[in-house]
Amino acid sequence: MAQLTTTTTASGAAQALNGEYLDLSLAYADEDEPECEPKPEQRQPLLNTAGRKPSLSERRNVDLPYLRVVHERVREREREPETEATTDSSPDQSSTFAPGLRRNSISMPSGINALDLEALRLRHQMQAQDALHEETIADDATSSLGTPATTPGTTTLNTPDKGTGATTINFASTPNDDDSDDEFGNVKKRVYRDRFRNRRRASIAPLPALRLNSKEMLASDFDTHSLASNQASITSVNSLASLLREKMQAFPQLIRKKKRETKDYKIKIFVIIMFFIIIFLIGYAYIAYHQQVLTKSYFQKIKFNSVDRIFRILNHDDKEVISGQLGVTLSSDSAPFHCLEEQRRSDGSVCIEWNGVARLHMNFEDKGVFRCYTLQWQALTPGLLPTDCYELKRDNGLWFGGGITKGQEWSLSYANFDFMPYASGDSKVHQFGNGVKRYFINSIGVAMQVSERTPLQLGINRTENQFCLRAANDDFTFVNRLTALPQLDYKICTTEDMRSLHMLMTQQSLWDGLKEQDIQVLHSLLEEPVWRIPNQDLPDSLNETVICDYSESAIAMGLGHIVINEFWQENIGDFSVDRARFPTLKDTIDVLHRRGFKVVFTIQPFISTDSVNFKDAVRRKLLIYERHSERSIPALTRYKSCSSAGVLDITNNASVPWLLEKLQRLKEEYGVKSFYLDLGTGYNLPHYYQCRQPLDNPDMYARMLTASLEGEGLMAVSTASVVPKPPIFLSTPPANATWEGLRETLAAVLNYGVIGYPFVLPGAIGGDYLLERSLTKMVTFYSLGQPPLPDPELFIRWLQLATFLPAMQFSHLPSEYRSDLVTRVAQEMKEVRQTVVIALLKKYLSPSMNEGLPLVRPLWMMDPHDPACLIVSDEFSVGEELIVAPILDAGREEREVYLPQGVWKDGIDGSLRKGSRWMHGYRVPKEKIAYFRKMPDNTRF
């Protein structure tokens, strides 16, 4: 379908072309529709205009263009050569209206009935839509007058002036209609619109329904699919005015629409976010609801989910202080139920059983400010190992206790090891050190104590941040099965006052049963140093001359206790002096007593097979015997220089009297009043040991023997699992003569104090032995010689540290260095200890005896709520009035120092220091040690 559209003036409207006729009975555009179709006789020639109705232009007194449709045959006729003469003629001579064309109306394309509208619609849907702007933009370069502009985005209006041809007017959109930003600086969104319908046509009211190709469709549908509908249909100046008015009215609406589109975009994002939040809250509420339904409250402060076995304890303010999972080794599909009546206890405990697998008893004990909860697991099936794991959260404080570990970590929260039997050993080889206690305390006021009858295995998993307890038997440590199946029994106590909690959990008063003589010995150990006769490479090297010479050199530093090692006897276990090497030992000891020294003999429960007492002990059946054998066959082990030795059976009622008789003879003959009990460790017992009475664990042997000899003047013991009765001190493990050994000594003293050992005897200043390589064998198995003279700097720093510890022990003497610096430092440290330290040790002696608090404490015991105090591992306090910050590394003369709250006086320059802050780059000369004394709270600068 092809057509040609032109314009003509009203003056030529009455001309006719080739005899065509115009139906004068048709109504004008502004008139009502005719009631019926015109009859054929009403048609008149185009040139005959008499009697017609006045046109719209005549009535409005304006010139309006006409829309002319030229048919194909007319176009072909115009293309012929004979029509060339008429091309320059006036419109009156060349223009002809199509038959049946209504004036001043919208033209309808000819052949409209031949359109396949459905195919056109499908083709339009399959084509890519071009992006059109909100307003059609006209080019700056418009076409010439009388020629329609072909540039897209230009609206052409042809208005003939009088005496001129058609005029083309271009309305170009303003720059604001382009892709520029809106008034709020937001980038305009490109709008995709239908190419067949512009904004002008969208503003025209919908036409009545048409019927085309036997289909009824609305005018809007027709307009969308019609190619001819994309043409302008402005027919009057009034239409132009209305177009401008519509555009002016649509401009605010356009702005509001863009704002609304922006808001819609934000609303969509907000709705999406809210959707995910609602989904999360619903899921969280679902999980929390089911956990709350399954979680029950026991004894008001216990929250326990018996299905997942999640266990939580709350404090007085209903804040969680400890949480974990009980029964980790239980199957997740095991359903719990309340125990049967015969399995319940009459003490008010709660009993929960997993049918045929395990049984849990929980009980509560209210002690006023304390709340203690008892948990006991009973395995009901072989192979099950009851295991409870608690979270190592930083918000829930740091865990301490258990003594020292293999890695010498400051806190158990920093350790990482698999399940190991909890027993005393050599911390260089085994997981735990020589001082153990089944007591663990948290810095926020939670303490845990495990029963001695539990075959306890301890494990810390840093990957999952878990601190786990397990009950499991083995072939050595817990070989004596006290129950048919393992049982895990422990107690948890909470309080806001950590000081009182520590007193409750450690032990009762240590004053019970003390004599005045015991208090004097205790004071002497705090005030006077311990002089240990150096170990010689060969036992025969020790004689009376060595003892006398050593005492004369030590007298310059002060009087004290002279400890003679086990080589005072010919064979270990003789319990008699070797008269070949010590023919006049009694006279030598008398001389030492007159000088003011106290002589101490080292004793042990081991009896060498070369000793005359070994045969006697075997005959009396006083020794530990081999498991699953007759009692007449002793179990052998190794102890220091003795490659084969038996061990006294402390559970035999005849063993202790036999030993006491030997010791009493020594006291009477040589005037010895004190003994150092070298028990080794739990691993020094024969591997397949068997006592007359079963032991709960190897550490129970050291406990029983120490208790049996408490009244015989014990000065110190090498191993302990409970706090020995004062004045007995617990020795730290032997230290290597290196800077690492210095740091290990401080860690051992602090950790032993935390678990309830207030009186600790550190190793010799400068180290007990020297090994350049790592150890693979226990030190307590061998007799190691005295290390060579340590580096002067190491000796000075070790001496400075030992000055503030509960006791000082020397092996090498300061005079051996022949150095003015070492001698001056030794004298200065001696004065500091006598004037400052000893007074504080005696002051806090009574609180330690009453409450179990250590004399030397980590900073967090002063202020457990101060986060900085928890992380400081190289500072300590003497009581609550003295802070010490030693140098523990070679070549350093400055360090970081943290002071808790309060006002502190610097021990180096006497200046006042404000607490609750760090001091960076604090200078500590080689001959000085940083320490600070607490001043009254009203002290002002």
Mean model confidence pLDDT for the chain: 77
Average pLDDT over residues 73-97: 43
Distance CA 425, CA 440 (A): 18
Per-residue pLDDT at 15: 39
Residue 868 in this model has a pLDDT that exceeds 60: yes
Helix (H) or strand (E) run with residue 638 in it = strand 637-639
pLDDT, greater one: 270 or 21: 270
Residue 233's pLDDT band (cuts 50, 70, 90)? very low
Per-residue pLDDT at 282: 82
Residue 468 in this model has a pLDDT that exceeds 50: yes
Per-residue pLDDT at 371: 85
pLDDT, greater one: 148 or 512: 512
Per-residue pLDDT at 216: 47
Average pLDDT over residues 930-935: 95
Residue 166's pLDDT band (cuts 50, 70, 90)? very low
**Phi/psi of residue 603, nearest 5 degrees:** -125, 165
> What pLDDT, in 10s, does the model give residues 124-135?
555 554 444 434
Per-residue pLDDT at 284: 72
727 C-beta neighbours (distance < 10 Å), count: 23
% of residues, the chain, pLDDT over 70: 69
| Low-confidence winner among 408-422, 689-703, 772-786 (lowest mean pLDDT) | 772-786
Task: List all residues 6 or more positions away from 263 whose beta carbon is below 8 Å from its beta carbon.
Answer: none
Per-residue pLDDT at 413: 85
Provide the CA 289 distance to its chain's centre, in angstroms.
26
Per-residue pLDDT at 860: 86
Average pLDDT over residues 391-402: 78
Per-residue pLDDT at 298: 65
Residue 530 in this model has a pLDDT that exceeds 90: yes
**Phi/psi of residue 225, nearest 5 degrees:** -100, 5
Asked if 38 and 102 count as a contact pair (C-beta separation under 8 A), the reply is no
> What pLDDT, in 10s, does the model give residues 184-196?
444 444 544 444 4
Fold of 295-504: Immunoglobulin-like (2.60.40)
Residue 55's pLDDT band (cuts 50, 70, 90)? low
| Low-confidence winner among 214-223, 433-442, 744-753 (lowest mean pLDDT) | 214-223
Asked if 370 and 495 count as a contact pair (C-beta separation under 8 A), the reply is yes
Residue 601's pLDDT band (cuts 50, 70, 90)? very high
Per-residue pLDDT at 116: 56
Average pLDDT over residues 139-164: 40
Asked if 431 and 307 count as a contact pair (C-beta separation under 8 A), the reply is no
Per-residue pLDDT at 392: 84
Residue 238 in this model has a pLDDT that exceeds 90: no
Residue 630's pLDDT band (cuts 50, 70, 90)? confident
Per-residue pLDDT at 402: 86
Tokens of 515: 């004599």
**Phi/psi of residue 461, nearest 5 degrees:** -110, 105
| Low-confidence winner among 128-137, 231-240, 605-614 (lowest mean pLDDT) | 128-137
pLDDT, greater one: 421 or 160: 421
Per-residue pLDDT at 30: 44
Per-residue pLDDT at 496: 77
pLDDT, greater one: 102 or 847: 847
Per-residue pLDDT at 746: 94
Per-residue pLDDT at 205: 47
Residue 624 in this model has a pLDDT that exceeds 70: yes
Asked if 705 and 643 count as a contact pair (C-beta separation under 8 A), the reply is no
> What pLDDT, in 10s, does the model give residues 647-695?
999 999 999 999 999 999 999 999 998 999 999 889 999 989 999 999 9
Average pLDDT over residues 880-901: 95
Per-residue pLDDT at 142: 39
Nearest to 357 by CA among 295, 322, 309, 292: 309
Per-residue pLDDT at 288: 57
Per-residue pLDDT at 646: 95
Distance CA 830, CA 800 (A): 10
Residue 4's pLDDT band (cuts 50, 70, 90)? very low
> What pLDDT, in 10s, does the model give residues 811-825?
999 999 999 999 999
Q: Give whichever of 107-121, 321-335, 750-764, 857-871 has the largest mean pLDDT.
A: 750-764
Asked if 592 and 551 count as a contact pair (C-beta separation under 8 A), the reply is yes
Distance CA 30, CA 103 (A): 11
Q: Is the dihedral of CA 477, 391, 722, 882 positive or negative?
A: positive
% of residues, the chain, pLDDT over 90: 41
Average pLDDT over residues 71-98: 44
Average pLDDT over residues 393-405: 79
Distance CA 880, CA 876 (A): 10
Distance CA 416, CA 433 (A): 16
Average pLDDT over residues 582-599: 93
> What pLDDT, in 10s, does the model give residues 705-743?
999 998 899 999 999 999 999 999 999 999 999 999 999
Task: List all residues 6 or more positions away from 864 whose beta carbon is below 8 Å from its beta carbon.
Answer: 397, 443, 444, 445, 498, 870
Per-residue pLDDT at 190: 52
Asked if 206 and 238 count as a contact pair (C-beta separation under 8 A), the reply is no
Question: Are β-strands 336-338 and 350-354 bridged in parallel, bridged antiparallel, or unpaired?
Answer: antiparallel
Per-residue pLDDT at 295: 57
Distance CA 579, CA 571 (A): 12
Distance CA 301, CA 364 (A): 10
Residue 346's pLDDT band (cuts 50, 70, 90)? confident
Residue 6 in this model has a pLDDT that exceeds 50: no
Residue 618's pLDDT band (cuts 50, 70, 90)? very high
792 C-beta neighbours (distance < 10 Å), count: 15
Residue 867's pLDDT band (cuts 50, 70, 90)? confident
Tokens of 501: 């909690």
pLDDT, greater one: 797 or 284: 797
Residue 74 in this model has a pLDDT that exceeds 50: no
Domain boundaries, the chain: 295-504
Residue 518 in this model has a pLDDT that exceeds 60: yes
Average pLDDT over residues 496-518: 77
Hey, which bits of 299-443 come out as E strands? 302-305, 310-314, 320-325, 336-338, 350-354, 358-367, 370-379, 387-391, 399-401, 417-421, 439-442
Beta bridge partners of 561: 530, 598
pLDDT, greater one: 876 or 348: 876
| Low-confidence winner among 287-291, 682-686, 759-763, 832-836 (lowest mean pLDDT) | 287-291
